[in-house]
Amino acid sequence: MVESFLLYKNKLNCIYTIMNDGRSPRIRPVPAVTRAAAVLRLLARSRAPLRLAAIADALDLVPSTAMHTLRALVAERFVRVDPRTKQYRLGAGLLPLARAVLESDDFPSLARPRLDELSRQYGITAIGVEVPDLEHMIVVALSRAQTPVSLQVEIGSRFPALISATGRCVAAFTDRPWDEVVERFRGLIWHRAPSLEDWRGEIEEARRERFSLDRGNYIAGVTIAAVPVLDAAGFITHSIACVGLGDRFDPATRDALADDMRAAAADLGAELAAAV
């Protein structure tokens, strides 16, 4: 149930009005939808229900605007309010929509056995992410190794689309212009940020190898490997990432992992294409 809530509220981030200028699509946020998605994300992050003032403050909204948004979400049963305490939390009205999203998306069910095998074989956390745009990637499937220490990542977690090893794969196989990629890159926050020149070289390597490795650039003490899952046109739609603590991958392990991840990604791409 929790995974369904988290995945659905992230899907709301992909609702936009698309306007075409005859050259490339421009994306214009719809304010009411953006506010509603922000409220749902905030309530999903909070372990306790929130009052109107706390929601308005957290989202930098005028209280009356926050109230109108909350009333609309309550009416749709996406949010519920305690009439006694006037506190808000996520509502059960999300569940049918979340279930429909999960049932219509083939990637999580197709990816999960492969993630389980990678996690078991290499003792790492294996993650399947959706890449809807250059803004965010969304975790839609994962498998954790049975180890004393593991990383905290959940279904529905969102990360900047161009960050770390997966981000290099996104940059290598996106259909978006390079200028837009660079603009997004300049806004990223890393533990140890690469220069634009170095990052571009790493993107070219990811394009050649269909594999990328991040040794502590994004998160100190964490190694992340990633491969792209491509559509029939050769553009990235999803990615498989393997995450381990410390410098997990010696050269032999790195090569074996890369081969296994690329094979899994190729199979997934073919199966997703066949399912369309």
pLDDT at 155: 81
Give yes or no for a contact between 204 and 214, defined as CB atoms under 8 angstroms apart: no
Give yes or no for a contact between 138 and 158, defined as CB atoms under 8 angstroms apart: yes
| Confidence label for 249 from pLDDT (cuts 50, 70 and 90) | confident
pLDDT digit string (tens) for 194-248?
A: 999 999 999 999 999 999 999 999 999 899 999 999 999 999 999 999 998 876 6
Q: Classify 137 as helix, strand or coil.
A: strand
Task: Report phi then psi at 217, rounded to 5.
Answer: -65, -45
pLDDT at 84: 93
pLDDT digit string (tens) for 12-39?
A: 333 332 233 333 445 567 889 999 999 9
pLDDT digit string (tens) for 50-71?
A: 999 999 999 999 999 999 999 9
Q: The whole model's pTM is what?
A: 0.70
Looking at residues 122-136, what average pLDDT do you find? 92
Give yes or no for a contact between 148 and 264, defined as CB atoms under 8 angstroms apart: no
Give yes or no for a contact between 69 and 36, defined as CB atoms under 8 angstroms apart: yes
| Confidence label for 105 from pLDDT (cuts 50, 70 and 90) | low
